[in-house]
Structures are given as structure tokens and as C-alpha cells.
Structure 1
Amino acid sequence: MKALTTVAIALLVGAAPVHADGDWIRPVTHAATQEECGACHMAYPAGFLPARSWSAIMGDLENHFGENAQLDEATRAEIEAYLVSNASKGFRLSVFSTPPIKISELRWFKHEHSHEVSSAMMRKAKSFSNCAACHRGAEQGYFDDD
């Protein structure tokens, strides 16, 4: 049942490929994205958000979740192009008045984490943005339950 649920959620995420065990999404393979985004946090798979979301995030790097993450224009444009071209295609954006910019606020994410996350896990992770605290293979695209 878990594998079926994970596959269904992956389909909601979009066209990201799913590994045979149902817990894999294409990780970031773009060097500039890995280097720049990964310098502060895990470089999140582009398939976690739709293209409009990545464009909104990359268009406001001066205020990137309370931090200034500005890049030179060429690097910013290169990273945005990578994220947009690999973004999820499975979202119905008409339900959003503005593009979602936090993965943790999306329905599929809340569904996956609402019953499974204990207070001990949250103390360890400190934030839902720290995927690798609970998913050891997150940076390789594996989000199985560790």
C-alpha cells in the first residue's frame, strides 16, 4: 500500500521519474544549481515544484526565505532555466492564487508528513526543509522512510 501511495504522490508531483521502489525522484544534476543552492541547503529536486514556482523563487533571491541569496545574472538565469525545464508538470496551478514557493506547504507534502513525523524527528531535522535529516538518500533523489 505504501508503494502505491508513494507512486500516486509522485504522479501528483509531476513527470518526475519514479524508481521501482516508488521513492525516487530525479535529483539535481546541474552543477551550478548544486553549487549555489547546495551551499546553504539541499538542492531540492526541480520536480518538487512547477515552473512558475521556480521562476518566482529565482526572481526574488534578494529575499530568499529571509536571506539574501542574490547571484550574478548569468548564474541566476542558468539555474532558473534548469529548474524550469525540469519542473513538475503535474500541478493544477489554477488552485493557487500565487505560485507556491514552499514545498512543505503543498498538499502532497503535508499528506506524506502529517502522520509520520514525530516530535523527536522534528527536533532532529529542526525544519521540514532539512530533508536529509530523515531521508538519508535525499540528495540522490531517494525519499524513502529511513
Structure 2
Amino acid sequence: MAQSSIPRSPQSQDTLALSSNQIASVDRVPRRFELGQQLYLENCSACHIALPPPVLPSQTWRQLLQDTQHYGRQLQPLVDPPRILIWNYLQTFSRPLDLKEEQLPFRVERSRFFKALHPRVEFSQPISVKNCLNCHPSASEYNFRKLTSEWTDSP
């Protein structure tokens, strides 16, 4: 498989060095989805903290995988089969959105799934992926279970 032409940050190298057993994402990933998760981390954490799939609806992930314009940046398009493996991982661990009732969110702060995962948190605006580190100090290693002391023992 060809290497991605996206430059990798030191944080993404650290993330890729972790085995699936060391990653403390939201859900345990069965072996058949590990390569998709690894490819997702390789491509997304090169520029920013890779979000767990449940944070955004499946339709958002699908659009993000298909669009080479990514939040104002031109990206090298993902090609198959890596794109399919990433999609299988994201689709399996995200939820579909009923588009009849709400608009498709492309920003974390607009995702009701993100809000549902953070029921006791009051966010100041704007919320961005960079803010994850405020409460999840190991988010850059794709560990969202480890929390700051403020949240570790909260009810």
C-alpha cells in the first residue's frame, strides 16, 4: 500500500506506535476494524486530534471522507481500499442521524452526539478539536478515557 503524502506530526507518530490494546478510545475495536482505525489515525491525527467516531454522525464522516476540501484545506484524496477500511471503521462506531429532524453537523459544537457524550459539561464557545486536551489530556494519543482531575471523580 502506498504511503500517504500527508506530512505526519510527532503526535501522529506517537499515536501510530500504540497498539490497539493501548488505545483507550470510546469503544473497544474488534480486530477486523483495527486497520481502518490505524489508517484513520494516520491520516487525521497528522494535522489535528482524531475524534472518536461516536462524536459525529455517520453521514458527516462519509462526507468528510469524500471531500478533498477539509475545513478550508485542500487534502490529498483518500483512495480505495484505505478509504473503504476507514469508512468501515467510522461507520461501525458512529450513529446515523435522522436528517428529517436536524441538519448534518460538520462542527463538533453542532453535534448532538458530542453533546450527549458530555452531559455534565458546559462549554464556552467556540468549541474546537483543540479544546479536547482541556479535559482529555491524552487525546493526542487517542485516549479519551483519561480525564483531568477535575473530571476524574465527578458524579
Q: Tell me if TM exceeds 0.5.
A: yes
**Equivalent residues of 1:27, 1:140 under 8 A apart:** no
Residue type of the alignment partner of 1:106: S
Higher helix share: 1
Of the candidates 81, 93, 115, which is equivalent to residue 86 of structure 1?
Answer: 93
- Aligned-partner Cα distance in 1 for 2:38–2:121: 35
Residues 42-57 of structure 1: pairs in structure 2 closer than 5 A: 42-57=49-64
**Equivalent pairs, count:** 114
String of CA shifts for 1:67-105, please: whole Å, max 9, x gaps: 12223412233222221122125x4433224x2222221
Provide structure 1 residue ranges, at least 5 long, that are not aligned to the other structure. Answer: 1-23
Of the candidates 33, 41, 44, which is equivalent to residue 48 of structure 2?
Answer: 41
Which residue does the alignment assign to 1:105? 110
- Aligned-partner Cα distance in 2 for 1:59–1:109: 22
**Equivalent residues of 2:54, 2:114 under 8 A apart:** no
SS at 1:94 equivalent:
coil
Over the aligned positions, Cα root-mean-square deviation in angstroms equals 3.2
- Aligned-partner Cα distance in 1 for 2:115–2:76: 29
For normalisation by structure 2, the TM-score amounts to: 0.57
Are 1:77 and 2:84 matched, yes or no? Answer: yes
For normalisation by structure 1, the TM-score amounts to: 0.60
Of the candidates 36, 52, 69, which is equivalent to residue 63 of structure 1?
Answer: 69
Which residue does the alignment assign to 1:140? 143
**Equivalent residues of 2:136, 2:144 under 8 A apart:** no
Residue type of the alignment partner of 1:48: V
| CA drift at 1:53 | 1.3
- Structure 1's consecutive aligned runs of 4 or more residues displaced over 6 angstroms after TM superposition are none
Q: Is the deviation greater in 50-59 or in 128-137? A: 128-137
SS at 1:96 equivalent:
coil
